[in-house]
Amino acid sequence: KNQVEQSPQSLIILEGKNCTLQCNYTVSPFSNLRWYKQDTGRGPVSLTIMTFSENTKSNGRYTATLDADTKQSSLHITASQLSDSASYICVVSDNSGGYQKVTFGIGTKLQVIP
Amino acid sequence: DTEVTQTPKHLVMGMTNKKSLKCEQHMGHRAMYWYKQKAKKPPELMFVYSYEKLSINESVPSRFSPECPNSSLLNLHLHALQPEDSALYLCASSQGGQRGQFFGPGTRLTVL
């Protein structure tokens, strides 16, 4: 059974600090891994996407890493801002013909406080 | 255009009403999805359309009826819903290959 596990479940950090979120997965066959940011009551917004051959992908203050051997990914947020408060969801896709089957992590709820 | 749009943003309906949710994308994606998301839970897959044909129906009650009029549009028709159907309904689209899914902003549905 495909699974995506994220840790921690929740995190509180001071504004300006860095943090790292973790994602472990057992999805096969692997196609890609995306990190999404989701504000309460809104749809997920993609931050990064990585395929099997990519180790690191950056998007502004967000840097994602992928170790396909150990099936682990991390999302590092640098110089956090209050607007970073949201849920961060790790989503792993496998390619099944003409559409993608995805497995969602439960998310890490991040709260940035002043 | 790398956007999935959904209308309406919010919807309040009674249990006897008939309403529709709409989703649109102009990225040329050939797969479109409906998800239901309850608070503090990951999205749950409801339906998948691939090349305008229904590929997956995750045992969703018949009070939810999807429709794919063309490759850019996806509708979800609602009839005789229950209060427990209140949730955020997300539409997504994807292309083949390794690009993952793009999500719309969602429709917040409340059933009274």
Per-residue HEC secondary structure of B60-111 comes to: CCCCEEEEEEECCEEEEEEECCCHHHCEEEEEEEECCCCCCEEECCCEEEEE
pLDDT digits (tens, 9 = 90+) for A51-70: 888 999 999 999 999 999 99
pLDDT band (50, 70, 90) for residue A96: low
- What is the mean pLDDT of the segment spanning A83-98? 87
Instruction: Write the residue in A44, A91, A99 that is nearest to B31 by C-beta.
Output: A99
CA-nearest of A5, A7, A8, A11 to A86 is: A11
> What was the pLDDT predicted at B9?
95
- In this predicted structure, the answer to whether residue A71 has a pLDDT above a threshold of 70 is yes
pLDDT band (50, 70, 90) for residue A74: very high
> What was the pLDDT predicted at A70?
95
**Residue B25 amino acid letter:** Q
Highest mean pLDDT: which of A27-36, A58-67, B42-51?
A: A58-67
A57 has a chain B CB within 8 A of its CB: no
Is it true that the peptide bond before B8 is cis, omega within 30 degrees of 0?
yes
Q: How many CB atoms lie within 10 A of CB A104?
A: 20
- In this predicted structure, the answer to whether residue A97 has a pLDDT above a threshold of 70 is no
Chain A: give the shortest CA distance to residue B17, in Å. 23
Q: Do A46 and B103 touch (CB under 8 A)?
A: yes
